[in-house]
Each structure stands twice: as structure tokens, then as C-alpha cells.
Structure 1
Amino acid sequence: MKIEEAIKQKKFNNSQERAWINLIYTYNQLSGKLEELFKRFDLTHQQYNVLRILRGKHPESACCGAIKEVMLDKNPDLTRLCDRLLSKGLVDRFVNEENRRQVNVGITEKGLKLLEEMEPIMKENSKIAENLTEEEANTLSDLLDKLRG
């Protein structure tokens, strides 16, 4: 469905405005679907992102700075985020023995099992991108890279 039909707006000031509104609308559509999915697992998208990062480091742990550096959302309160994951038993937190001022976080077996349970659903959810050809997907990625400057 074209953006004009989706938001019932026939005219835009220019193509850039149309693209911008289309991007925001599409983000909200996709984000809403993901939020529903994460809610089923009592997670937020930021918590899921932290768990995925920690699974990639497993069996090693990571300091909060290293986690924040690679997060998709650069503005979370990582301490509070980790507190919530810790209370759910999905991560462990401990003082780095080499640098006692640094706190490390590692994923637990429970966290790994949760990600494993979510994996087929996440793969199914990502099939929305199959509407794009390989070339279109690369073009879209290149254009999004260009937008971020």
C-alpha cells in the first residue's frame, strides 16, 4: 500500500518529505509488531538487544560500555536495563577482577534458552523483508546509510 493511501494524504511538499513520512510510518508499523512479540516474552526491544549482544560474547561477559557501543538504541539507561534482566534471571552481573571500577554482564543459561525459544518467531517475523529482492534490500540499506550521513 502506498503511503498516500495508508495515511490518506494526497500531497506532500516534496519527495524528501514523502520519504521521511514514509520512513516514520513504516518504522512505527514494524516497531509495533516487534513490541507485541517482545511483550509475549516479557521483554523490551532494548532488553532483547542486550541479550543478543551477550549471547554473541558468551561464554565471556562484557562491560556496560562495550554493550552500549554496539546497541541499536544508543540512549538506554543500561544500568536499569541490566537490573531488570538481572531480576528476571536472564543475566549475571559482577565486578571485573582486573578493573574493580568496571561492572561486567554475562548472559545466563535462562537467557540463552529464552533467545533460543524466541529465534523461530523472530525469523518468521523477519520474513517481511522477503518482499524485497536482493538488489532492493541492498539499495534500501544503502539509502538508509546515506540518510544517517
Structure 2
Amino acid sequence: MGSLEEAIKQKEFKDPYNKLVVNLLYTHSYLVSAQNSLLKPFDLSPEQYNVLRILRGQNGIPTTVSSIQDRMLNKMSNASRLVDKLKAKLLVERRECSSDRRQVDILITDKGLDLLEDLQVRIEMANKQLLNLNEQEVDRMNELLDKLRG
């Protein structure tokens, strides 16, 4: 991939803080594009994939659309619309909540679980290739990003 300066054809930055913000934004776009390419053959967006992973993490316990929205990586996503699209693909189901009829419970289907299982190895391999970091560097990067968000 090369340096940020080469990638965006900029000679220098005002300061290292400015460069880091631009670098993070550029890298985010790079990662999202790679993830889009990986998920496209499965007719999934990264946001839909995120919803499926959230639901798998529920271990069969129903959850609400608002709970999914709270846990999503992209807070600007419309969880209700994403659930509708996943329902149309038979990857999730909506059920009336037995304790509160105004509430709708969302569950991942066996088809959704099977899709995630099929994707798991591909995602893990792609992540290792894409990141181009060893395990120590990955651990350090995770620490630094956690620190950055304070």
C-alpha cells in the first residue's frame, strides 16, 4: 500500500496529529472497501454482517432492534432496515415479544448461522493478509486504538 503521502499524493502534513487523523480515515476506507469486496459474493454489506454477528453473539436469546442499534459498529446505520433486508434473505426472523406485544424480538436463523460459519475462515484469512502486521503489532495497535478513544 505504501505511505499515506504517496497514496493521497500529498507531500507533507501540518503536524503528526493531522496526519494521524487523515491516516485513520484513509485506512478506514481501505478496510471497508476490502470488506465490501469479501462480502459482496454473499450478498451482504458490512453492516448486515455486523448485525448477523451481533445476533450470533446472543446465543439464541432474542434481542430488539434498538439493542442491535446500540451495539453496531456504524452508529449511523438503520438497524431496522438492515434487519428487514436480512429477514428477506431468511437470515433472521422477527417474533412478537411474549412479554411486551409492542416489542419485536430478532433472532438469527440456522441459515444465518451457516452463512457466518462459511464466512469465518475467509474473514480470518483476509484480516491477516489485509493488516500486514504480526501478532505483537496487532496487540499494540489494539492497545493504541483503545487508548485513542480514551
What is the TM-score normalised by the length of structure 1? 0.91
Distance 1:132 1:20 in 2: 23
Tell me if the contact between 1:58 and 1:106 (Cα under 8 Å) persists in the aligned partners: no
1:112 lines up with 2:113 in the alignment: yes
The CA distance in 2 between the partners of 1:147 and 1:58, in whole Å, is 31
Q: Which residue of 1 aligns with 2:142?
A: 141
Return the offset for 1:70.
1.5
Partner residue, 1:96 = 97
Distance 1:143 1:29 in 2: 19
Cα deviation code 1:89-121 (max 9, x no counterpart): 000101101111111100111111111111111
What letter corresponds to residue 76 of structure 1 in structure 2? Answer: S
CA distance in 2, matches of 1:40, 1:84: 16
Name 1:83's counterpart in structure 2.
84
How large is the Cα RMSD of the aligned pairs? Answer: 1.5
Amino acid at match of 2:25: I
Query: Residue 139 of structure 1: CA displacement?
Result: 3.1
* AA in 2 matched with 1:109: D
Aligned length: 148
Asked if the contact 2:69–2:78 (Cα under 8 Å) also holds between the matched residues in 1, the reply is: no
Deviation at 1:130, TM superposition (A): 5.2
Higher mean displacement: 78-87 or 137-146: 137-146
Cα-to-partner distance string for 1:4-47 (whole Å, 9 max, x where unaligned): 22222111111111111111111111110101111111011111
Q: Specify which of 120, 131, 134 is matched with residue 133 of structure 2.
A: 131
Kept in 1, the 8 Å contact 2:36–2:46? The answer is yes
Unaligned segments of structure 1, at least 5 residues:
none
SS at match of 1:9: coil
| C-alpha distance in 2 between matches for 1:131 and 1:139 | 10
Q: Give 1:85 deviation, angstroms.
A: 0.5
Percent identity at matched positions?
41
Write the deviation string for residues 53-105 of structure 1: whole angstroms up to 9, x where unpaired: 11111322111122122211112111111110000000010110111111110
| Stretches (4+) displaced over 3 A | none
Counterpart-to-counterpart distance in 1, 2:88 and 2:135: 42
Q: Distance in 2 between matches of 1:15 and 1:132?
A: 24
Residue in structure 1 matched with residue 62 of structure 2 by the alignment: 61
C-alpha separation in 1, matches of 2:134 and 2:14? 27
Q: Unpaired runs of 5+ in structure 2?
A: none
